Structure 1
Amino acid sequence: MLFDRKKYLWLTFALLLLTLAYVLMSGPDSHQPDKFDEHIFSFRRITLAPLIIIGTYLSLILLILKQPKKRCSEEKRK
């Protein structure tokens, strides 16, 4: 097995968080295409969602690179 159960749970949580961030970034559609909508430049779309995405990708990299703790029985064998 590549990862243990705990890492798979963290991976699932991170993927759900990424999905949420991309949904926050997309937002609702424009009701009147010929008029300018100022909601495209909202805090949620410009700041919050990209910060969540960057933080989640960084945590995924750290999660993948983290070495598992060695068990006592494995240390005694060496």
Structure 2
Amino acid sequence: MAKERKKTVQTKQSPTFVFGKLNYQLMVLSMAIVVLGFILMAGKTDIYSFTKITLAPIVVVAGFALGIVAILKNPNKQDNNSNNS
């Protein structure tokens, strides 16, 4: 008895990404904001300056918040305004 071999047809599928283009752009922007916050924290000026104590942590937290928004934003959901046009 000869074994029958099933032919499988392989088609090239384009890769599907979990996130959309806007998600990646927001993620890169959030990383840049976090880096800016850490740069503001660094330096050789007075350790108790407004920039190091207040402004830099706010900038870092804002960067992390934007990163969370970038992750949670649904790329498949369309705006209602674009459907009404």
Contact map agreement 2:27 2:66 (CA 8 A) in 1: no
Shift of 1:56: 1.4
Does residue 11 of structure 1 match 2:11? no
Which stretches in structure 2 are left out of the alignment for 5+ residues?
1-16, 79-85
| Cross-structure match for 1:61 | 68
Contact map agreement 2:34 2:63 (CA 8 A) in 1: yes
Shift of 1:28: 2.4
Alignment of 1:1-78 (within 5 A): 1-28=17-44, 39-68=46-75, 69-70=77-78
Aligned length: 62
CA RMSD of superposed structures (Å):
1.9
| Cross-structure match for 1:35 | none
Contact map agreement 2:37 2:60 (CA 8 A) in 1: yes
Shift of 1:66: 2.3
Residues 31-53 of structure 1 show CA distances to partners (whole Å, capped at 9, x for unaligned) of: xxxxxxxx110000000000011
Which structure has greater helix proportion? 1
Aligned-pair identity in percent equals 33
Off by >6 Å, runs of 4+ in structure 1: none
**Bigger Cα Rg:** 2
TM-score, normalization: structure 2?
0.64
TM-score, normalization: structure 1?
0.69
Which stretches in structure 1 are left out of the alignment for 5+ residues?
30-38, 71-78
> What SS class does the counterpart of residue 40 from structure 1 fall into?
coil
